[in-house]
Amino acid sequence: MPMPLLKGAVVVDFAGRRAQDIARLVREMNFYSEVWPAFDPPERFVADRPPGVIVAGEAGDAGVRALAAALHAAGIPALVVEGDATGSGLAARIESFLKHECGLTPDWTVERFIDEQVAAIRAAAGEAGAIVCGLSGGVDSSVAAALVHRAVGDRLHTIFVNTGLMRAGEPERVEAAFRERFGPNFRHVDASARFLGKLAGVTDPEHKRRVIGEEFIRVFEEEARSIGDVRYLVQGTVYPDVIESGVGGGLVKSHHNVGGLPERMALELIEPLRYLFKDEVRRLGEALGLPRELVWRHPFPGPGLAVRVLGEVTPERVEIARRCDAIVTDELRRAGLMDDLWQAFAVLTEARTVGVRDDTRTYGYVAAVRTVTSRDAMSADWGRIPYDVLDAISRRILNEVPAIGRVVYDISPKPPSTIEWE
Ligand code: XMP
């Protein structure tokens, strides 16, 4: 896929996460923006000549000064935004810079993005060959598929792999959202027995991810082979993934998604969301007519309930986690809290606990309830859920899921704790 033409401002990342915030602010004003790493040499800026550069860093920093001087010498407008600047004053300064110094017009909208991407996808996909897209039921792959479908229609084949590690009602929801839209080009593969079989005896979180990632590739390859002349693969990569993969850093968790597919299958990648932030992906999904419920849903990890069942993943333990999870979601929805939270779920721990039911000793599992607020999953705080909602969740889990003997609430922020327990 070709890069979008550079018609907006570049935000340079001298101050870590600040650059993303500023880039989003610029886009909220309907100007296009890109984040470039600070370690790009000034020559890149001079060669590519963006209409303007916002340098997110400290004015006294030697790197910031050097870049600002190089931009100035090349006649490229530059604005230095200090690390802690926020608020409406900052927004006004940026808007004035973009309009008056860079000569930009605020005309970057979702509708325009759709038109440009449809044209770009058609150009990239040529005249022939099938295009495949794995649907996870999540926002990114759903929106990517809907956009590519608008561009190439029946050449798109979508594959939804039910890993058996999905939440309650999930396969049915995906069916309802896509069966009609994609018709015979929507494949629903029930691979739950295969996945659960491969996971037998596996307890280490990264091992689980590898097993699931590999099995996913295998199922996907089999389906692609039966489709025939497959040449392109759609991936729902979003802009933070692109920015962060450029910045480096150590591995915390290997997010599997469909990583590994392109190398093995020698497919060309179509990544129509690679310049969008998550909230933009959601607005795009709505503009493409996807159900609101699907577009605004919480993120769900590719390995699914396998990383929420601590220790060994058996069909029985997955079912316990699924039932607890459904209660958490149900009660939060009832209380109108789902939209305030980034994610909310239950974790089945390996801990056993003594209890008493009908005068008889019990020895059930401990379930943990986790809710978090976050803007982008890089950091998160635990959700300040009202006690009566926590109470309803706990009572229902203890009443309706006999295997659970105790419910605890997770009050750990990220960092140091990650959002998922595994
Ligand atoms: P952590 O647990 O690292 O999660 O704080 C950050 C975000 O990523 C999701 N997550 C995953 N997503 N495959 C995925 O596709 C994975 O293996 C995976 N692990 C975590 C998590 O739900 C949260 O939104």
| pLDDT score for 4 | 54
Conformation bin of residue 364: beta by default, left when phi > 0, alpha when psi is -120 to 50: beta
- Cα of 422 vs centre of ligand 1, distance in Å, is 9
Contacts of 23 (CB under 8 A, 6+ apart): 11, 33, 34, 35, 277
Task: Give residue-wise pLDDT tens across range 229-287.
Answer: 999 999 999 988 888 766 433 445 554 444 456 567 778 889 999 999 988 999 999 99
Find the DSSP H helices in 97-238: 110-125, 139-152, 170-182, 192-199, 205-227
What count of other Cβ atoms lies within 10 Å of the Cβ of residue 161?
25
Domain 308-409 fold is GMP Synthetase; Chain A, domain 3 (3.30.300)
| pLDDT score for 266 | 75
Conformation bin of residue 102: beta by default, left when phi > 0, alpha when psi is -120 to 50: alpha
| pLDDT score for 288 | 95
CA-to-CA distance for 258 and 249, rounded, in angstroms? 21
3-class DSSP state for residue 23? helix
Residue given tokens 């959700």 in the structure block? 383
- In the chain, CATH 3.40.50.880 sits at 9-101
DSSP 101: I
Q: Is the distance from CB of 54 to CB of 15 less than 8 angstroms?
A: no
Ligand 1 atom nearest to CA at 420: 2
Of 420, 421, 422, the residue with max ligand 1 atoms within 8 A of its CB, to mutate for a pocket test, comes to 420
Nearest CA owner, ligand 1 atom 10: 301
Of 215, 244, 253, the residue with max ligand 1 atoms within 8 A of its CB, to mutate for a pocket test, comes to 253
Q: Is the distance from CB of 370 to CB of 341 less than 8 angstroms?
A: no
- In the chain, CATH 3.40.50.620 sits at 110-295
Listed residue (227, 155, 221, 165) closest to 190, CA to CA: 165
Q: Is the distance from CB of 199 to CB of 212 less than 8 angstroms?
A: yes
Ligand 1 atom nearest to CA at 257: 15
- Cα of 280 vs centre of ligand 1, distance in Å, is 20
Question: 9-101 is classed in which CATH architecture?
Answer: 3-Layer(aba) Sandwich (3.40)
368: enclosing H helix or E strand: strand 360-373
CATH of 110-295, one of 3.90.1150.10, 3.40.50.620, 1.10.3720.10, 3.40.50.2000: 3.40.50.620
Q: Residues of the chain whose pLDDT is less than 70?
A: 1-6, 15-16, 85, 245-263
| pLDDT score for 156 | 97
User: pTM for this structure?
Assistant: 0.86
| pLDDT score for 260 | 54
Which tokens hold the place of 248? Answer: 């480096």
Nearest CA owner, ligand 1 atom 7: 377
- Cα of 336 vs centre of ligand 1, distance in Å, is 24
| pLDDT score for 2 | 43
| pLDDT score for 247 | 46
